[in-house]
């Protein structure tokens, strides 16, 4: 699948970074960080399938998304690259590292571990499905409808980035039915014991998030022998929203190390 993407070009850059967003996100969620990183690196930020401005599909498997990103790398001459993935994008990034390691100079995973997770976003998807968008006329009305099931204003504002105008009322930009089916796969995700990536690897977790636990570190070491785990104490799951400066510093430090290694 040909993904929509935005490239933050840097003609002097020797290293390319590809950023993969999470479920219900889009490339524009990473615009500020991508812009700052492009001062030193070439940065490519796609909308994943069934999200943003990329095509919808009846499938949303990790294997599909690995193929999508690898095709993007081929089309943009970005082989190999450092792959950064957050949440759903982190699962895709890990699978890329296992399946096509030659496509990676290094791996950055933000707030997701290679094990089954309870999909907290399931309630959010259900709330989105329950809103009668065609009957609503303003974004405020949609927010009020979501508030009946989603208490957090921050989460609702994130959800509302997926809202778009329709001929009558609104519609969701994401492919909700397919994403709901994807949750079944993501909830049970577990790499095979033999899955391993031996390149440089950085995991970043939010200190207020439970997606990467202390006891997960031995699992990370098993699949990623060169892993380093960094914690951002004041951040939850959306580290790039809640602590962008800290995340940026950690990413740049890692990219500098990778650049020295690849020459």
The CATH number that applies at residue 93 is 3.40.50.1820
Q: Are residues 35 and 103 in the same domain?
A: yes
Calpha distance 78→164 (Å, rounded): 31
The string over 48-85, giving b where at least 16 C-beta atoms fall within 10 Å of a residue's C-beta and e elsewhere, is bbbbbebeeeeebebebbbbbbbebbeebebebbbbbb
Q: Are residues 140 and 67 in the same domain?
A: no
Phi, psi of 21 (to 5 degrees): -75, 175
Q: Give the helix/strand (H/E) hosting 73.
A: helix 62-76
Q: Are residues 138 and 222 in the same domain?
A: no
Q: Are residues 39 and 144 in the same domain?
A: no
The string over 218-243, giving b where at least 16 C-beta atoms fall within 10 Å of a residue's C-beta and e elsewhere, is ebbeebbeebebbbbeebbbbbbbbb
Phi, psi of 158 (to 5 degrees): -65, -45
Q: Residue 54 is part of which domain span? A: 5-117+189-262
Cis? peptide before 188, omega within 30° of 0: no
Q: Distance between terminal CA atoms of the chain? A: 32
Calpha distance 199→100 (Å, rounded): 12
Q: Are residues 108 and 133 in the same domain?
A: no
Tell me the sheet residues that pair with 231.
205
Dihedral over Cα of 186, 19, 211, 160: its sign: negative
- Please compute, for residue 118, the number of CA atoms within 13 A of its CA located in the half-sphere on the CB side: 4
The CA angle 10-51-230, to the nearest 5 degrees, is 60
Beta strands 42-46 and 16-20: pairing type? parallel
pTM (two decimals) = 0.95
Q: Are residues 59 and 102 in the same domain?
A: yes
Q: Are residues 113 and 170 in the same domain?
A: no
Q: Are residues 227 and 255 in the same domain?
A: yes
Final residue before a domain boundary, out of 180, 201, 223: 180
Final residue before a domain boundary, out of 155, 180, 205: 180
Per-residue pLDDT of the chain (263 residues; tens, 9 = 90+): 999 999 998 888 999 999 999 999 999 999 999 999 999 999 999 999 999 999 999 999 999 999 999 999 999 999 999 999 999 999 999 999 999 999 999 999 999 999 998 767 888 999 999 999 988 999 999 999 999 999 989 889 999 999 999 888 899 999 999 999 998 888 889 999 999 999 999 999 999 999 999 999 999 999 999 999 999 999 999 899 999 999 999 999 999 999 999 97
The domain tally of the chain equals: 2
Dihedral over Cα of 52, 57, 58, 62: its sign: negative
Going by the DSSP 8-state scheme, the letter that residue 233 receives in this structure is T
Q: Are residues 215 and 169 in the same domain?
A: no
Final residue before a domain boundary, out of 153, 180, 207: 180
Q: Are residues 175 and 195 in the same domain?
A: no
Q: Are residues 18 and 81 in the same domain?
A: yes
């Amino acid at each position: 699948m040909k993904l929509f993407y935005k490239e933050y070009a840097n003609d002097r850059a020797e290293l390319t970074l590809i950023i993969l967003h999470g479920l219900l996100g889009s490339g524009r969620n990473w615009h500020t960080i991508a812009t700052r990183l492009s001062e030193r690196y070439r940065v490519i930020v796609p909308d994943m399938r069934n999200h943003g401005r990329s095509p919808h599909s009846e499938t949303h498997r990790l294997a599909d998304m690995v193929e999508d990103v690898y095709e993007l790398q081929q089309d943009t001459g970005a082989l190999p690259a450092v792959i950064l993935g957050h949440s759903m994008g982190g699962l895709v990034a890990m699978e890329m590292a296992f399946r096509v390691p030659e496509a990676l100079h290094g791996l950055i995973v933000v707030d997701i571990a290679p094990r089954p997770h309870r999909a907290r976003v399931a309630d959010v998807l259900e709330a989105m499905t329950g809103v009668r968008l065609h009957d609503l006329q303003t974004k405020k009305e949609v927010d009020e409808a979501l508030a009946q099931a989603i208490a957090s204003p921050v989460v609702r504002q994130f959800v509302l980035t997926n809202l778009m105008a329709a001929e009558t009322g609104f519609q969701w930009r994401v492919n909700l039915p397919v994403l709901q089916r994807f949750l079944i796969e993501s909830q049970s995700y577990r790499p095979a014991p033999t899955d391993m990536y031996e390149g440089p690897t950085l995991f970043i977790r939010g200190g207020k998030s439970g997606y990467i636990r202390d006891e997960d570190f031995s699992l990370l070491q098993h699949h990623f022998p060169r892993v380093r785990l960094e914690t951002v104490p004041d951040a939850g799951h959306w580290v790039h929203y809640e602590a962008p400066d800290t995340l940026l510093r950690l990413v740049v430090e890692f990219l500098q190390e990778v650049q020295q290694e690849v020459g």
